[in-house]
Amino acid sequence: MIFAGGKILPDSERSAVLGRLEEDISQTLGGPPLAAETVLDALETLAAELDSGALDGLIARYAPPGAREELDRVRPQISRKTLEDRLSLELGGLGGPRPFGRAEVRPLGVLLHIAPGNMAGLPAFTAVEGLLTGNLNLVKLPHGDKGLTLAVFQKLTELEPRLAPWLYAFDVPSRDTASLKRLAALAGGIVTWGGDGAITAMRKLAPPGCKLIEWGHRLSFAYLSDWAGLDLSPLARHILRTGGLLCSSCQVIYLDTEYLAVGEKFCKDFLPVLERAAASRYQAPGQAAQGALYTREALLEQIVDRAASDDLVFAGRCCSLVLRRDMELELSHLHGNVLVKRLPRKDLLPVLGRQRGRLQTAGLLCPERLREELAALLARAGVNRITAPGRMSDAFLQEAHDGEYPLRRYVRVVDVENNF
Amino acid sequence: MLSRQKLFWLSRAYGLPGSDARFLRAVRDNCAYHIKHCPEYRLICRAEGFSPDCLETIDDLARLPVLPTLFFKRHHVSSMPEWRMAMKVTSSGTSGSFSRVGFDWGCVFAEIPMVLRLGFYHRLVSPVPARYVILGYKPGKQDKMGVARTMFGVTHFAPPVGRFYALKWKDGAYVPDLDGAVRTLSRWGRFPLPVRIVAFPSYLWFGMERMEELGLSVCLPRGSKILLAGGWKQHYAQEVDKPRLYALARKVLGVEEEHIHEFFGAVEHPVFFNTCKKHHFHIPAYARVIIRDVRTLKPLPMGEVGLVNLITPLINATPVTSVMTDDLGCLTPGEDCGCGLSSPYLTILGRAGLNDITTCAAGAAELLGKGEAF
């Protein structure tokens, strides 16, 4: 399906829409600019409909199960106040008087979004960020999008018809490089969400001079120092709740120690905590069965894929811990099956430095007296978010995205000299 | 290795526990074969302290290393080189990745008596030619799905004189043609030859609902049957109560309840499970079923609900001796059924919540999609 001009069209219209897209874009960009106020008003109305339950039918029809819970969690992100705060935090001060004249903040023009499929609503959200900065948005829908994005766009443009010429969505498969190239050729910036594969592919398709904005996949971990007596259950609940699937999910629990015996003791102590979190997370038999199957699979993979290793495996009910002897940050077995490694403070910089550019969140658990020192060390190592272990995947208002303010990347600054 | 052929050629279709000794011997040999020829299976058995000698009584089957179907989606393991296999089959991959299971010639040879014996027992075999309407895939070069193979296979129980497929391969995707199927049914219903509908249960359900909606009905000729294969898959949410399905079949197709048969199986466990006249899946002599606790995976006593663990010594090419499906079910003593069979029967009650998985953790998509490039 395609979204163009405020309407949902069948895929058979794609070449016709692409054929006149350049002309349509020039016409839109040549007209009055898109004011942030217009976008904020439309979003406020949309959010009110979401709160009133008017969109529940739409969500139930198009979004995957669990999307409603996820949307409720990110709901504060689209409140008017948050978005206004973001505009002033991220773009405030970029424009204004300068000794030579003035600086103006202008949109990049056209943004092509290679939207992610890992969270319902994110394709719409990336387009909203583009709209807020005054850009015209071309969205390549993710493979698994069952129509939610198109429905949201239609709703939004119904509420505010002035947004219609600024929003396009295409259900182009990633292998259709010809269509993607045509879209990329029209864009001033390409916003790519995805793994290494998607990012490398888009770099090849982008014309030279096109700004690349990449929100790649990340790895996160927990860092525990002097943890005796501290509550480990929020970390356990985080591990079970996100299943290791988010950029901010804990993959490895790092222990600030040199001794393997300390690691073993930690695993023995932590496993029952993790099991309790699993039992409360997986209450229905179908969920528990899923957890048990994933854990069984993790244990088999451990046997088959790491036959030569001397890892220590601690298997629990619907969860497991694997104590590995190296220090590298790597992906865990996911779904409540997490890795434990030693990483003494002195080795932190060189070890994490090897993953620089992939690091995201560190969930820090330590006595208060160590907190500032360790947070500073983690920040130096390249970590972009430092939180309590239980809040690693929580969204914080006004937080940066992987170390950057997104809106700032979707605009450019135009310097204008006075008196010439 | 004749123990397998003895089990499949000599056993009575539902000869439980009479076939126990033969079953155990075949499983022991099957396991020994996989341990010898499949390095991954060898590693697993070693890690879990299992050897074929552990199997002394039928209860010891619970000690076999259990491999979840997910394992076969992520690891394409085999116990013989591809050139020695008769064929390779993939699961329908509702979650995006596929199991790949190789079948050896000995397995194909053992399947023949199993399918025939069960086919005769359940009165599926008939010398009267029939026309087939298949609400499923047409097997073709583009896919190697097990369900397509099963559906094609069952069109041979009565000599086929025509086949209509409702899912057609068009421009790289399957396109359903339910209306075409309805038209074909009305046309064929006017002739005296029996019609056999072979269908995914959910497709049959949607098709019949559509017929009812449009006010259409046909009365298929005497001897017509409905054969359901492939399970309800992702349509559990829409699963209907069976009496309603039977009533609808009678109303819009003119097929009585006793002529509706259901099959159950998996690519990783290609034993031909059939429903009896009371619509129960009794365990045939060629398989054993263990229900396992959803949290501990420990075997559960008769009657309790858990994950379904299927065991068979059918395949030498792939180590699928003991596999854990994503299905939740329970076992009931055969005597409680009333159809005359004494072998316990398996009831499928649901599915472990293995949804489509999407992720943004670095490398996770690749890990989860490890089996996709087949």
Nearest Cα of chain A lies from the Cα of B23 at a distance, in angstroms, of: 26
What residues make up the domain containing A412?
2-217+402-417
Question: Whole-model pTM?
Answer: 0.88
Whether A121 and A242 share a structural domain: no
Which pLDDT score, from 0 to 100, does residue B372 have?
A: 24
How would DSSP label each residue in B2-58?
HHHHHHHHHS-TT-TTTTHHHHHHHHHHHHHHHHHH-HHHHHHHHHTT--GGG--SG
Exposed (0-12), middle (13-18) or buried (19+): which is A370, by Cβ within 10 Å? middle
The strand pairing partners of B175, in sequence order, are B168
Which pLDDT score, from 0 to 100, does residue A372 have?
A: 97
A contacts of B358 (beta carbons < 8 Å)? 117-119, 144, 245
A117, A245, A304 member nearest B44 (Cβ): A304
| Mean pLDDT in residue range A28-38 | 96
Q: What pairing do the DSSP bridges indicate for beta strands A359-365 and A219-224?
A: parallel
Q: Is residue A126 one of the residues assigned to a domain?
A: yes
Instruction: For residue B354, give the 3-state DSSP assignment.
Output: coil
- pLDDT bin (cut points 50, 70, 90) of residue A348 is very high
Q: Is residue A268 one of the residues assigned to a domain?
A: yes
Whether A236 and A189 share a structural domain: no
Using alpha carbons only, what angle is made at residue A344 by residues A341 and A348, rounded to the nearest 5 degrees?
90
Whether A85 and A120 share a structural domain: yes
pLDDT, tens digit (0-9, with 9 covering 90-100), for A368-415 = 999 999 999 999 999 999 999 999 998 888 899 999 999 999 999 999
Which pLDDT score, from 0 to 100, does residue B362 have?
A: 57
B311: tokens are 């065991």
Nearest Cα of chain A lies from the Cα of B104 at a distance, in angstroms, of: 23
* Model ipTM over 0.95: no
Q: What is the DSSP letter of B252?
A: H
A64, A288, A334 member nearest B294 (Cβ): A288
CATH number at residue A259: 3.40.309.10
CA B210, B212, B215, B221 dihedral sign is positive
A276: tokens are 């309790």
- By C-alpha distance, the chain B residue nearest A358 is B362
Which pLDDT score, from 0 to 100, does residue B21 have?
A: 96
Q: Is residue A150 one of the residues assigned to a domain?
A: yes
| Mean pLDDT in residue range A28-49 | 95
Q: Is residue A397 one of the residues assigned to a domain?
A: no
Note whether A119 contacts B358, CB cutoff 8 Å: yes
Q: Is residue A407 one of the residues assigned to a domain?
A: yes
Whether A198 and A265 share a structural domain: no
Instruction: Report the percent of chain B where pLDDT is more than 90.
Output: 59
How many domains, in total, are found in chain A? Answer: 2
Which pLDDT score, from 0 to 100, does residue A230 have?
A: 97
pLDDT, tens digit (0-9, with 9 covering 90-100), for A294-325 = 999 999 999 999 999 999 999 999 999 999 99
How would DSSP label each residue in A312-352?
EEEEETTEEEEE-SS-------BTTEEEEEE--GGGHHHHH
In the predicted structure, residue B361 carries a pLDDT above the cut 70: no
Which pLDDT score, from 0 to 100, does residue B357 have?
A: 43
Q: Is residue A396 one of the residues assigned to a domain?
A: no
Whether A288 and A366 share a structural domain: yes
In the predicted structure, residue B364 carries a pLDDT above the cut 60: no
Is the model more confident about B210 or about B299?
Answer: B299
Residues 6+ apart with CB under 8 A from B126: B157, B158, B194, B223
Whether A29 and A175 share a structural domain: yes
Nearest Cα of chain A lies from the Cα of B1 at a distance, in angstroms, of: 27
pLDDT, tens digit (0-9, with 9 covering 90-100), for A233-289 = 999 999 999 999 889 999 999 999 999 999 999 999 999 999 999 999 998 888 999
Is the model more confident about B270 or about A74?
Answer: B270
Nearest Cα of chain B lies from the Cα of A159 at a distance, in angstroms, of: 31
Note whether B366 contacts A290, CB cutoff 8 Å: no
In the predicted structure, residue A60 carries a pLDDT above the cut 90: no
Whether A211 and A224 share a structural domain: no
Whether A183 and A238 share a structural domain: no
In the predicted structure, residue B167 carries a pLDDT above the cut 90: no
pLDDT, tens digit (0-9, with 9 covering 90-100), for B117-160 = 999 999 999 999 999 998 877 776 555 566 677 777 788 899 99
B237 in A contact zone (CB under 8 Å): no
A118, A196, A284 member nearest B359 (Cβ): A118
Whether A77 and A142 share a structural domain: yes
Which pLDDT score, from 0 to 100, does residue B144 have?
A: 58
In terms of average pLDDT, the best of A69-73, A96-100, B171-175 is: A96-100
* Strands of A37-100, DSSP E: 96-98
- pLDDT bin (cut points 50, 70, 90) of residue B237 is very low
